[in-house]
Chains A and B, each alone.
Chain A
Amino acid sequence: MTKNHIYFIKCVVIIHHLTEVRVSKTIYKGDYFMIEMENVYKTYPNGVTALNGVNVKIDQGEFVYIVGPSGAGKSTFVKLMYREEKPSSGKIMINNYDLMEIKEKEIPFFRRNVGVVFQDFKLLPKMTIYENIAFALEVIEESPRNIRKRVMEVLETVGLKNKARFTPNELSGGEQQRVSIARAIINHPKIVIADEPTGNLDPETSLEIMKTFESINASGTTVLMATHSKSIVNRFKKRVIAIESGLIVRDEHRGEYGYEV
């Protein structure tokens, strides 16, 4: 069976399971990877080389952990994917955007395909939960009607409908992280990137957050998660990419965390 056949079957299955209209778009997906890097190097202006020739291909709909010791280059790796950083050399294609050639003006539009979640949530303390999430659509000039509709939808997805009027400070860490996930997925991104999303959370809360990511992934969104959590990686079995000193040293499907601690 060719790759296209597999996609077709995958998509049919997904459509049967999900009602979201946008998922059907994946049927028309061409013969390309969602994320593709070839010989990617990244040297920061201070001379530190964080990535040393990375090659990787990630398909639409995959769930991938990025693991490795601290300072290995995990954050740098994911920063390339939402164009926070540009590679020093190599080839990088994300969702069919060539990030080596992309024009400055197109970057905002590229970023609308990628949702990002951080360890520190990055919520605006003076805004309510509702406003924090709506903000992501307001600044890309969505219509107020769509914004209202989508905010209610994603609040439902992350289970925080009853906290819409609260401010971030009135929420627990886990709840705040779910708000930031809601904000990341509000624009139906093709990819969700999370850099240590459970780094500030206790194990129990981390499990809840993982379930949220799993459900996002189940709707067809590609998920990339840099993490230090052995228990999570070993419990929710996914593809594991291990980075050390800026190189991919291991890439396994249904992999183990593979480090002590």
Chain B
Amino acid sequence: MKFRTLTRHLKVGSKNIIRNGWMTVASIGAVTTTLILVAAFLALMLNLNEMAVNIEDDVEIKTLIDLTATEEDVLALGEQLKQIDGVDTVVFSSNDEELESLISGMGDQGNAWQMFEQDNPLNHVYVVRATDPQNTETIANEITALNHVDRVVFGKDVVEQLFQFNNYARTIGLVLIVALVFTAIFLISNTIKITIMARSTEIGIMKLVGATNGFIRWPFFIEGLLLGVLGSVIPIISILVGYYYLDSSVSGSISFSFVEILPFNPFAWQLALIVIAIGAIIGVWGSVMSVRKFLKV
């Protein structure tokens, strides 16, 4: 397309946007609402996913050894653990080491445990890691059945709850977003239909003098595109500002030290890019629908 033609289409497209007044405002509003929700949803989902993956990677099975087990028993158990299918590593950790890591892991509160240093109530432990985190539960069950095993402890609940929550949130979010996206598309296609109707004489003359169908359609695509992109301005500002504060408050705070969110750079920028792309797709989709239906060229 010639540059001159492109500027003409841009001019006509933006003129139409201004002409349509309240319909334009409603369309942009719908896109804005949709995209803010999409952004919030994506930020939440991607962060939860990241956390779940991190935790899942961390999954280890603590095999607590019977307090009555002899040294030979312990060694034999270690061999048995290594024989289990899907086991990656088996590491022994004595009760003293366990207590130490417990105390240091608790920070200040850990001091309370120091009184146990003389009379350690903890078990010796084998820390078992599965090659594939998915097999953790099966392996844990096998270990439970072995002799001299007191019980096994692993992060099953945390991971499962997180994934479960993730699934619910994803379903609800998706339904909501799909509904909103379609509302936005519908509003945009309606706005463009109004433009097409208002310009029917002009379109008729264009056809008569031999304008190509593409030439006639372009301004309407541009109008849709502009509606979508204008609708993504406020969401993008919200993402950048909101996520910046979230990121700095989470990573600066001690009480959130166990949470790690995706870093502002590049995540917020990527999110902004996704949001503007979705806005553009909504806009163009809306105009394609109208052009197909109402512009008989």
A44-52, A70-78, A104-112 - interface stretch? A104-112
- Report if A82 contacts B (CB, 8 A): yes
Taking the closest CB of chain B, its distance from the CB of A15, in whole angstroms, is 27
Residue of A82, A105, A139, A144 near B211 (CB, 8 A) is A139
Residue of A104, A105, A111 near B209 (CB, 8 A) is A111
Residues of A within 8 A of B (CB-CB), count: 20
Chain B 206-233 near chain A by CB (<8 Å), digits 1 or 0: 1111111101100000000000000000
Taking the closest CB of chain B, its distance from the CB of A113, in whole angstroms, is 8
**Contact call A112/B201, Cβ cutoff below 8 A:** no
Residue of A111, A124, A135 near B210 (CB, 8 A) is A111
- Report if A40 contacts B (CB, 8 A): no
- Report if A228 contacts B (CB, 8 A): no
**Contact call B212/A135, Cβ cutoff below 8 A:** no
Q: Given A141-B2, A144-B4, verify A122-B210 contact (CB < 8 Å).
A: no
**Contact call A124/B202, Cβ cutoff below 8 A:** yes
Residue of B4, B8, B204, B212 near A122 (CB, 8 A) is B204
- Report if B172 contacts A (CB, 8 A): no
**Contact call B209/A139, Cβ cutoff below 8 A:** yes
Residue of B4, B201, B212, B213 near A124 (CB, 8 A) is B201
- Most A CB atoms within 10 A — which of B5, B209, B215? B209
Taking the closest CB of chain A, its distance from the CB of B247, in whole angstroms, is 49
- Report if B205 contacts A (CB, 8 A): yes
Residue of B5, B8, B210 near A109 (CB, 8 A) is B210
A136 to B210, CA, bound (A): 8
**Contact call B208/A116, Cβ cutoff below 8 A:** yes
A140 to B216, CA, bound (A): 10
A112 to B209, CA, bound (A): 6
**Contact call B209/A122, Cβ cutoff below 8 A:** no
A140 to B214, CA, bound (A): 11
Residue of A105, A116, A136, A139 near B215 (CB, 8 A) is A139
A82 to B204, CA, bound (A): 13
The interface residues of chain A lying within 8 Å CB-to-CB of B207 are: 108, 111
**Contact call A108/B205, Cβ cutoff below 8 A:** no
The interface residues of chain B lying within 8 Å CB-to-CB of A135 are: 205, 209
Taking the closest CB of chain B, its distance from the CB of A126, in whole angstroms, is 10
User: Which residues of B in the span 1-25 have a Cβ within 8 Å of any Cβ on A?
Assistant: 2, 4-5, 8
Q: Given A122-B201, A124-B201, A124-B202, verify A141-B208 contact (CB < 8 Å).
A: no
Q: List 23 A-B contacts (CB under 8 A).
A: A82-B208, A108-B207, A108-B213, A109-B210, A109-B212, A111-B209, A112-B210, A122-B205, A124-B201, A124-B205, A135-B205, A135-B209, A136-B205, A136-B209, A139-B211, A139-B215, A140-B212, A140-B215, A141-B2, A141-B5, A141-B215, A183-B209, A187-B209
Q: Which 4 A-B pairs have the closest CB atoms?
A: A112-B210, A139-B211, A111-B210, A136-B209
